[in-house]
Structure 1
Amino acid sequence: MKKKILSLTISLSIAMTLFSSTVFKVNAETLTYNETTINENLNATVVPDHIVLNWTEDPSTTQTITWRTSKDVNAGEVKYRVKGSTDFTTLNVDPSNIKLFSTVASDTAGSMKVFSVTIKGLQSGTTYEYIVGDGTNFSNISTFKTEVSNNSKTKFLIFGDSQSGDSSKPIYAPWHDTVQKAYSENPDANFMVNIGDLVEQGQNYQHWNNWFNAANGVINNIPEMVVQGNHETYVPSGGSSKPEYFTNQFSVPNNGPFGYEGQVYSYNYGNVHFVVLDSQEDEEAPSNDNFLKTQADWLEQDLSANKQKWTIVMFHKTPYYNKKTRNNPAVKDIFTPVIDKHHVDVVLNGHDHGLSRTYAINGDNYYTDYSKGTVYYVTGRSGNKFYTDLSNKTWDAFFQDTQDSPTYEVADVVDGKLTIKAYKYSTTNPAYSNSTLVDTLVIDKDNPNNSTSLTLNKNDKTKLSVAGSVISDYDVDVVNNKAYVDPSKIAEVYKGTYDKTTLTLTINSKKYVFASSDLLNNDASKVNLDALYKSGIDCKYNSDLNVVLIDFTGRVDTTGFTGFVIGSIPNSGTNPPSNGSNPSGNNGSSTTPSNNTSSNAGNSNNSNLTNLSSSSLPKTGSVIGMDLIIVLGITIILSGICVLNRKRISEKIHKIISK
């Protein structure tokens, strides 16, 4: 009899526990992330959703939470408690932090309410549970954890472009798969970062609706510290604007330059100083370098005050790019001198959708010693969109194509050691059905010999690199330390022309005309490199690699230019040649992962942009609804009663069935 009573007691206790944790009206909605319809409420309801954690103040004692509801909700509150405790503390949202958000004219007409609240006075190193709502309708329970005191350990997830790839097809299932997988395998991550182009069309709310739904279960449990990309500025009618949808949905530190609120900021976590910049001059202030210079001035002040052991700067567009010819010269010219001056350890970029990391770079010189330069890391793509014209560039120590799979990175900082591991994961490519490690970068300041080795391939003969890609079957003529280049090789890369009779190189409708005095032995295929530079073509010579680099930036300044000297003393010239690294991060000889292309690579002749086909995928990270909890509770109670008297219950059930 005692056993029967004990069984019933346990059953009732379990059931009551289930009911006690669901005393509020909660959201039991099934989320979709490939939806193509949206209503006047932007699919918002009275029940909060699009819940996202950010930091605006000290991560060890505060937590900022932002969410949205339909426009008829006028009040907001957060209830929170230390995980494992019983009673919630309630904090009301200040009316000044409740915004009516309305779409732009060219988007589907609609509006919603956005709420934001910062909880202060929290205990460091503590996990909290929380719900948000209006006093009647509440979200499901989520958690957050404050930073521990005197922290020197940091773990965060990195996601490159998560956009759909087609503004008319807001497909975010690949983004859902990537972010959910990364978090499920790294539940101890302190936070996550997206390196821009979160969505395909930033001023189109359907894309945001799907993006938030896809990330549900992650961004409401670990903070999301966002970086803006160029696609955040795009409007449905064409063109671009300020990224209003982006800045209205994420709460970030308000410590950047005036006019860049929500777009430029910095914060500390552990012994790392993080900086976020806005690289979108072309979209927000075309041909106005002051847009970037204002940020560079602020960056100078910010980094001058930085006392952290590590510094990581994040912005979307790539100074050291993967695309065939698409470069970002203004970003490179204006941001990198400040980065060089303050020796930023790593710069995280997106935009190109490739996975790559450079040598340690300072002043366009390449080094094998991490203490002498900055690693520029292109973070791949976590969503549906990929390019087919990416390649391993002269400045890359590692490169891998991402046509065959989305990617994500996991960064760990432990005291003086930084590790970044890159993974491929795909639900459509069996080769990456599990998270597959493809690269590891280790920078160990305390024990440099443990760092991932970097080596430079110095060519015996001077080579030509056009848009970062070496022309393999061509050698530059060098006479008396002067280089002579065949302009037709440049024209081939840019799909331009070179007229040997008129000595005219035409690239993108612009003409570069040379004189006969610029030729070697009156040979039209051998033009002095100095003449190319003076004509406005960006030229450099890298003595470590013995490579002439040609690019078109429109930013050449010949003031004080005295000519190139080929064969000068190398900048670093230390280690033996190699190209790539072991995915495990081990030093020494290893087999570099191949520059994989997917089964879709055959489409490369049709377009440089390809989208993975959409599919109806399982919804992971979903929340148990109230109805399921009730059924489960009743089942448990009945099970306990059955233990008390199996025979009596059986007879009653039989009578009911007979009726």
Structure 2
Amino acid sequence: MEEKKSILDLFKEKNHGISRRLFLQSCGAALAVASMPVNLTKVFAADAFSRQPAHTTLTWTLDPRTTQTLAWTTSVAADKGTLQYIDTQAYKKTGWQNALSVQADTEEFDANTDYVRLHYATAQKLKPGTAYTYRVGYGSEWSDPQSFSTEADNLSKFKFLIFGDSQSGIPANPEYKPWQKTIESAYAANTDAAFFMNIGDLVEIGQDYAHWKNWYAAAANVLEKIPGMAVTGNHETYDVPKEDHSVLPVYFKKQISLPLNGPEELKGQVYSFDYGNVHFAVLDSQENEEGSYIENMLKKEADWLDKDLASSKQTWKLVFFHKTPYYNKAERSNENVKKAFAPVIDKHHVDVVINGHDHGYSRTYPIYNDEFVGSPDKGTVYLVTGRSGNKYYTDLSQKVWDAFFHDPQAEPNYVVVTVNGPKLVISAYTQSGSCIDVYTIDKVAKTDSPRTILPGKANYTRLAIWGNLLQTPLIPVPPQQIENVWYLPLSSFIDFIGGDMDIKDNTLALIYKKDKITLKTDSNAAILNNNTLSLTHPVKLVKDTPMIAADDLKSLLKFDNRYDPSLNILFLVK
């Protein structure tokens, strides 16, 4: 006997045999709206989904050798969900006859554009190194058969893909065709990849489901074939089109099932897992966006990372987070992130740190304690992964810490990491397949290729602002110590950061963004936005050039400074 369906069921189903117009004409629009105990806006929004599974995604929440997690989305009418799986060799002989089934956990998800049901299921007690065929759904509504493979025991050779920011770049237009072309091109060229990592800013507006739907649609042909492990970015926290208000990344956590072994308040955002002889640790760098919701967020992560890395016995240690300690952007630093994470990274000698955020591709010299070192066995290489989506920047450049830099304005790019025992190879490609960079670390030989050649020490002190080296004639007088205090030419500094300076007699009038500053040569007196203060050291004249103490730029404009004697460079950063 056919199951009797309610009017609400008819609304929830995609192919329900009765149109909304017919229903409203039959019952009367006003009567229907007044009498039905549901929110019609949400019911109508669910029309984009049916009982047929969509957004099918492979991830890991447990051991990749013996488990596989699946997530998928349906209309709320599909109140049940099942994962079926079977050894692929058996499937070829008997189909689904001897398949095992896992009942999915489900929950309704009230997104801003749709009202859907999310399903999560994990196959366990799998055989390592085995291919399985699977499908998700229930009743007569099943996904097409796909396959996954478990990690083999004692695996030491494998590859995985890395994608930088895949976002659309346009809040009002969820454009993800470039992302689709990048991920499909990368997978077509690397069908043996075990999984992929997305390094944050998957979508433009994290709490706008229209962006997520297009992101999933663009990546569908790969998401259902290999696991995709994700990192949260700042855009995952945005909840309004203006991108000026942030919340916790709710949509990210609801849809993407990840290991829950991170700090209590950051489970599903901060996590780690092992694959082969590599330990993967994933952090959330969005203190500026999430810090008001999670107290001491970065410290909690750093403490967790310290324990996590200490417990790992893997050959390789890789750490992933979105924002860049060593960046490409003209004047966007992330000093809070560097201060929190870098000491732990140094302590445990992480081999490579992988970041996104800047949409450029760059690879630093090996770095330890914020100083360049001669080989990767002495420090950590920081990799900025470029862009896999539509958005690019026009103010990227090679910084003083970059051994290699590529600006992907012309087309998106992706990264392939190949691990073979004690060797790790990082290869970057354009979307169309041209090779950008190949870099190898050999743990046995304690070398890299191309070999690290550090920049030489200059005969005179150079000035680097946001990692950019100022050259003559921008800097007619170099930084220098006067009475054991570092001074730098004020006009060169103000010009470079985009401010204005007017000199009249011995008075200096400075404007930088909203700040107005008045100084006098040979004086400690200063006026900042009509407030009088005293500098630590007086402004001095050197060859008729006003020089300001680097330490005083902290109180005036919040710029920190650091002198590197090995390079003879004075670094300034805000």
Give the letter aligned to residue 495 of structure 2: E
Q: Deviations over 1:395-453 (max 9, x none)?
A: 1111110110100000011111110100012xxxxxxxx40001011111112345331
SS of the equivalent of 1:294 reads: helix
Q: Which residue of 1 aligns with 2:540?
A: 519
Q: Cα–Cα, structure 1 residues 539 and 310, in superposed 2: closer, same or farther, change >3 Å? A: same
Q: Report the alpha carbon displacement of residue 305 of structure 1 after superposing the two structures with TM.
A: 1.1
- TM-score (ref. length: structure 2): 0.83
Quote how far apart the aligned CAs of 1:164 are: 0.5
Q: Provide Cα deviations, 1:243-275, integer angstroms capped at 9, x if missing partner.
A: 111101111111000111211100000111101
What is the DSSP-based 3-state SS (H/G/I as helix, E as strand, rest coil) of the residue aligned with 2:109?
strand
2:92 is the counterpart of 1:71: no
Instruction: Give the AA of the match of 1:353.
Output: H
Could you tell me which of 381, 385, 388 is aligned with 2:387? 381
Aligned to 1:455: 453
Could you tell me which of 542, 547, 550 is aligned with 1:529?
550
1:11-90, aligned counterparts within 5 Å? Answer: 40-41=45-46, 43-85=48-90, 86-88=94-96, 89-90=99-100
Contact 1:316 1:351 in 2 (8 A): yes
Q: Which of 488, 492, 500 lines up with 2:495 in the alignment?
A: 492
Q: Secondary structure at the match of 2:213?
A: helix
Unaligned ranges ≥5, structure 2: 1-14, 16-42, 523-537
Judged with a 3 Å threshold, the aligned counterparts in structure 2 of structure 1 residues 514 and 539 are, in CA distance, closer, same or farther, namely farther
Q: Conserved in 2, the CA contact under 8 Å of 1:484 and 1:520?
A: no
**411-420 or 518-527, larger mean C-alpha shift:** 518-527
Q: Is the partner of 1:541 in helix, strand or coil?
A: strand
Task: Return the letter of the residue paired with 1:172.
Answer: Y
**Native 8 Å contact 1:423 1:435 kept in 2:** yes
| Aligned mates of 1:507, 1:372 — CA distance in 2 | 40
Question: Residues 42 and 367 (structure 1 numbering): CA distance in 2 closer, same or farther, change over 3 Å?
Answer: farther
- Give the residue type in structure 2 aligned to 1:484: Y
Superposed CA deviations along residues 378-399 of structure 1, whole A, max 9, x for unmatched, are: 0000000000000111111111
1:229: which partner in 2? 233
Q: How does 1:233-272 map to 2 (within 5 A)?
A: 233-236=237-240, 238=242, 239-272=245-278
Distance 2:110 2:178 in 1: 28
> 1: distance between equivalents of 2:348 and 2:178?
37
Paired with 1:316 and 1:272, the residues of 2 have a C-alpha distance of: 20
SS at match of 1:188: coil
- 1:217 has 2:216 as partner: no
Match of 2:492, SS? helix
Q: For 1:226-245, what per-residue CA distance to the aligned partner results, in whole angstroms no more than 9, with x for missing partners?
A: 00101111113651111111
* Cα distance in 1, alignment partners of residues 346 and 218 from structure 2: 38
Q: Is the 8 A contact 2:479 2:570 kept in 1?
A: no
2:120 is the alignment partner of 1:122: no
Decide whether aligned partners of structure 1 residues 479 and 251 sit closer, same or farther in structure 2, where only a CA change above 3 A counts.
Answer: closer
2:8 is aligned to none
Paired residue secondary structure (2:217): helix
Equivalent residue runs for 1:261-340 within 5 Å: 261-286=267-292, 290-340=296-346
Q: 2:441 aligns with which of 418, 440, 443?
A: 443
Summarize the Cα distance change of 1:264–1:524 in structure 2 as closer, same or farther, 3 Å threshold: same
Distance in 1 separating the partners of 2:88 and 2:293: 52
Instruction: Name the residue aligned to 1:153.
Output: 157
Secondary structure of 1:404's match?
coil
* Matching residue's letter, 2:101: L
Unaligned runs of 5+ in 1: 1-26, 28-37, 426-433, 553-659
* Structure 2 Cα separation of the partners of residues 514 and 437 of structure 1: 54
Kindly state the Cα deviation for residue 546 of structure 1 after the two structures are TM-superposed. 2.0
CA distance in 2 between counterparts of 1:521 and 1:419 reads 50
Can you list the C-alpha shifts for 1:507-542, whole angstroms capped at 9, x where unaligned?
Answer: 343466576234255845223435445755211122
Once the two structures are superposed, residues 52-108 of structure 1 have per-residue CA deviations (whole angstroms, 9 ceiling, x without a partner) of 0011111111101110111110111112111132243131324xx2010111xxx33
Looking at structure 1, the residues matched to 216 and 487 of structure 2 have their Cα atoms a distance apart, in angstroms, of 54
Paired residue type of 1:102: D
Q: Secondary structure at the match of 1:259?
A: helix
CA distances 1:578-620 after superposition (whole Å, capped 9, x unpaired): xxxxxxxxxxxxxxxxxxxxxxxxxxxxxxxxxxxxxxxxxxx
SS in 1 for 2:338: helix
**Contact 2:375–2:448 (CA under 8 A) maintained in structure 1:** no
1:93–1:305 CA distance, 2 compared to 1 (3 A): same
Structure with more contact order per residue of length (Cα contacts < 8 Å, sep ≥ 6)? 1
- TM alignment of 1:406-417, pairs within 5 A: 406-417=412-423
User: Which residue of structure 2 aligns with residue 548 of structure 1?
Assistant: 570
Task: Kindly report which structure 2 residues correspond to 1:461-480, keeping only aligned pairs within 5 A, or say none.
Answer: 461-473=460-472, 474=475, 476-478=478-480
Q: Check conservation: 1:503, 1:524, Cα contact below 8 A.
A: no
Q: Counterparts of 1:259 and 1:477 in 2: how far apart (Å)?
A: 45
- Are the structure 2 counterparts of residues 504 and 371 from structure 1 closer, same or farther at C-alpha, using a change threshold of 3 Å? farther
Cα distance in 2, alignment partners of residues 514 and 254 from structure 1: 57
**Aligned-partner residue type, residue 463 of structure 2:** L
Equivalent runs, 1:640-651 vs 2, <5 Å: none
The answer (yes or no) to whether the contact 1:61–1:122 under 8 Å persists in 2 is yes
What is the distance in 1 between the residues matched to 2:410 and 2:155? 38
Counterpart check, 1:92 vs 2:90 = no
Structure 1 residues 479 and 298 mapped into 2: Cα distance closer, same or farther (>3 Å)?
A: closer
The 3 A distance-change label for structure 1 pair 482 and 520 is farther
Change (3 A) 1:514 1:533: farther
Q: How does 1:585-604 map to 2 (within 5 A)?
A: none
What letter corresponds to residue 440 of structure 1 in structure 2? Answer: V
| Aligned position for 1:102 | 110
When residues 271 and 511 of structure 1 are mapped into structure 2, their CA distance, relative to the original with a 3 A threshold, is farther
Compute the displacement of 1:505 (Å): 4.9
Q: Secondary structure at the match of 1:334?
A: helix
Deviation, structure 1 residue 454: 1.4
Helix, strand or coil at the partner of 2:274? strand
- For 1:506 and 1:363, the matched residues in 2 are separated by 34
Alpha carbons 1:487, 1:505 under 8 Å: kept: no
SS at match of 1:370: coil
TM-score (norm 1): 0.73
Distance (whole Å) between structure 2 residues aligned to residue 531 and residue 524 of structure 1 = 17
Shift in alpha-carbon separation, 1:329–1:123, aligned structure 2, 3 A: same
Equivalent AA in structure 2 for residue 157 of structure 1: L
Call closer, same or farther: CA 1:488–1:287 in 2, change over 3 Å: farther
Q: Which residue of 2 aligns with 1:429?
A: none
| Residue identity opposite 1:456 in structure 2 | L
2:383 maps to amino acid? Y
Distance 1:455 1:520, change over 3 A: farther
* Cα deviation, residue 478, structure 1: 3.2
> Which residue of 2 is the match for residue 371 of structure 1?
377
User: Structure 2: which amino acid aligns with 1:468?
Assistant: G
The answer (yes or no) to whether the contact 2:86–2:100 under 8 Å persists in 1 is no
Structure with more of its chain in strand, by fraction: 2
Mapped partners of 1:340, 1:508: distance in 2: 36
After TM superposition, give the deviation of residue 155 of structure 1 in Å.
1.0
Look up the equivalent residue of 2:307 and give its one-letter code.
Answer: Q
In structure 1, how many angstroms separate the alpha carbons of the residues matched to 2:200 and 2:520? 41
- Work out the percentage of aligned pairs sharing the same amino acid: 45
What is the deviation of 1:48? 0.3
Per the alignment, residue 643 of structure 1 pairs with none
| 8 Å contact from structure 1 (residues 456, 544) kept in 2 | no
Q: Which residue of 2 aligns with 1:625?
A: none
